[in-house]
Amino acid sequence: MRKRDLFSLCMQNLFRRKSRTILTVLGVVIGCCAIVIMVSIGIGSREAQEKMLSQMGDLTLINVYYYSWDSANSEVKLNDAALDSFRAIPGVELVTPMLEVYDIPIKICAGVGGRYETRWVTLVGMSDYAPERLEYGLLEGEYAGEGSFAVLVGERFAYNFADTKRPEGYNMVQWWRDAVWDEETGTYTNLPDPYFNVMDAPMELRIEIEGKNPIKQKLTVTGVMKEDYSKNYVTSEGMIMRLDDLLVLREQYRRAAGIKTENEDTYEQVIVKVKEINQVGEVEKTIKAAGYNTSSMESIREPMEAEARQQQMILGGLGAISLLVAAIGIMNTMIMSISERTREIGIMKALGCFLRDIRTEFLMEAGMIGILGGVIGLILSFAISIIMNVVSSQMPVTSVADLFAILGNVGSRMSVIPAWLALFALVFSALIGLVSGYYPASRAVRISALEAIKRE
C-alpha cells in the first residue's frame, strides 16, 4: 500500500469512531498539558531565582583575594604571574586587578581655576577595557579604553565637590534632601543639579606632599557610570582609572615622598570573569587549589539550582504520571479497535496486504492520536501559562503591549515554556502514541486471515 493510502485509511478509522478518538486524544491532551505546565512552573521558579541572584551581583564573577595579610612572608603572591595563570584556566574570559589606593593623599579639583574640590574619592585602577567587558552601565559618554589618564566616574561623583567660594556648611549640593526613590525604575528622581557637568568641566588630580610641590595630573572624563552596587560600589561616587596610569601616580608619589615598599606588584583583589555560569564552580575550585581565597555567587547559586532541579523533577514526574495514564488509554483503544476490526484485518491479509502495512496502519493511528493530543495539549498549555503569568503579575492588561510586557518580564513570570519544552512535548506525545500502539499492532499482524474472515 502507498503511504498516501495508509494515511487516508488511518484518518477514516479515527473519524469513524469519533467519540472514542476524542476521549483518547483528551487523555493525551491532559497528560501533555500537565507535564508542560508542571515543568514550566519549575523553569519560571528557576528564572526568578537567577534574577534575584543577578541583582545581588554578576553570577559569572569570581573575586580573588590575597590569602595572607603578611605579603612579605607569603609563598603565594597575587601578582602579574598569578594573573597570567588565571587567564590560562579554561573558561576564563577576563582577569583584572582591582587596585584601590588608600595611602595617597588625593585631591581632585574641577572647574575654572579649580574652584570645586573634593578629597573624598574612591579611586580604583583596572585593566584596559575591563569596565566595558564587566558590563558597567553608562549614563553618558563612552568607555575610557586606552586613553592616557582618561577616567570613568560614578553617577553621583559630582555631588562630592565643595564650592571653595561658598562658606563651610553651605558649599555642597545636598542631593538626598529632595531626592525621591522610584521603585519602578530603580533610580532617584527630583535630583538637584550639581555645581558643574563632569563631562565638560576641566578636572585635575593633585597629590599633596608635605614640604613639596603637589603632583598634578589633568584628567579626561570620558563617561559617567550608572550606579549599580551589584556591579561595584565605585559606580556610585568613585572613579575608575587605567591600572597603568594609577601605578604611575603611585610610583611618583612614593618617589617624591621617599617611601620604599616591597612586593609592589602584589594586588589585594583580582576580578575573574568566566564565560559561562556553569563553569564558575570549576574555575573557582582551580583558583582555590592554587592557595587563594575566593568569593562568588556560586556558593548561593549552586544549592538554589539543585533545589530548583529537584522541584522541577517532582513537578515533571507528576505530569509524566498523567501522560502514562494517557498511554494506557491509547493502548486500550487500539486493542478494542483490533477486536472490532478483526474481519477487516483478515480481508486485508486475504487480498495480499503486507504484514508491515497492517502494522504501519495501527502504529500510524496510535501515533496520530499522540500527535493530535500533543498539539492540542501544547496550545492549551500556552493559554494556561499566559493566564498564570497575567494573574501572578497583578498588573492590568488593557492592550496587547501590556500583555507582551508581562510575558517578556524575565524573572517575574510564574510559568515559562521555552522552545525546547514545546518540542519535547510534541515528540514525547508522538512517542507515547507509537509505543502504546506497538503491542496492539503486533497483535493485529498475528491474527490468522482465515479465522478473521469467519468472524462476524
DSSP structure string for 95-151: EEE-EE-SSS-EEEEESGGG-EEES---EEEE-TTHHHHTT--EEEE---TT-TTEE
Pick the last residue of a domain from 213, 242, 266.
Answer: 266
Cα-to-chain-centroid distance, residue 406:
18
* CA atoms of 377 and 39, how far apart (whole Å): 14
338 belongs to a structural domain: yes
196 belongs to a structural domain: yes
191 belongs to a structural domain: yes
* CA atoms of 9 and 62, how far apart (whole Å): 63
103 belongs to a structural domain: yes
- Enumerate residues 6+ apart whose C-beta is below 8 A from 73: none
Which pLDDT belongs to residue 364?
Answer: 79
The range of the structural domain enclosing residue 239 comes to 99-266
For residues 372 and 261, membership in a common domain is answered with no
As for how many domains the chain has, the answer is 2
For residues 142 and 261, membership in a common domain is answered with yes
CA distances for 437 relative to 167, 331, 359, 366, 369, angstroms: 90, 6, 9, 5, 10
Which pLDDT belongs to residue 218?
Answer: 94
For residues 116 and 261, membership in a common domain is answered with yes
For residues 42 and 133, membership in a common domain is answered with no
**pLDDT digits (tens), the chain, 456 positions:** 566 766 676 677 666 777 777 877 888 888 888 888 888 888 888 788 777 776 666 788 899 987 544 444 456 788 888 999 999 999 999 999 988 887 788 999 999 889 999 988 889 999 988 999 998 999 999 997 777 899 999 999 999 999 999 998 889 988 877 778 777 666 777 788 899 999 999 999 999 888 888 899 999 999 999 988 878 889 989 999 999 999 999 889 888 888 776 656 688 889 999 998 888 889 999 998 888 888 887 777 777 777 777 777 776 777 677 667 777 776 776 666 666 666 666 666 666 666 676 677 777 777 888 888 889 989 999 999 988 888 888 777 777 787 778 777 777 788 888 888 889 888 888 887 777 777 666 666 666 655 555 555
203 belongs to a structural domain: yes
Pick the last residue of a domain from 220, 242, 266.
Answer: 266
* CA atoms of 166 and 157, how far apart (whole Å): 19
For residues 38 and 156, membership in a common domain is answered with no
Residues in the chain: 456
Look up residue 242 and give its DSSP letter: E
For residues 184 and 316, membership in a common domain is answered with no
- Enumerate residues 6+ apart whose C-beta is below 8 A from 264: none
- Enumerate residues 6+ apart whose C-beta is below 8 A from 144: 131, 150, 151, 152, 222, 223, 240, 241, 242
Q: What is the pLDDT of residues 345-400, one digit of tens each?
A: 666 666 666 667 667 777 777 788 888 888 998 999 999 998 888 888 877 777 77
83 belongs to a structural domain: no
64 belongs to a structural domain: no
For residues 248 and 376, membership in a common domain is answered with no
Which pLDDT belongs to residue 73?
Answer: 45
Pick the last residue of a domain from 219, 245, 266.
Answer: 266
For residues 132 and 223, membership in a common domain is answered with yes
280 belongs to a structural domain: no
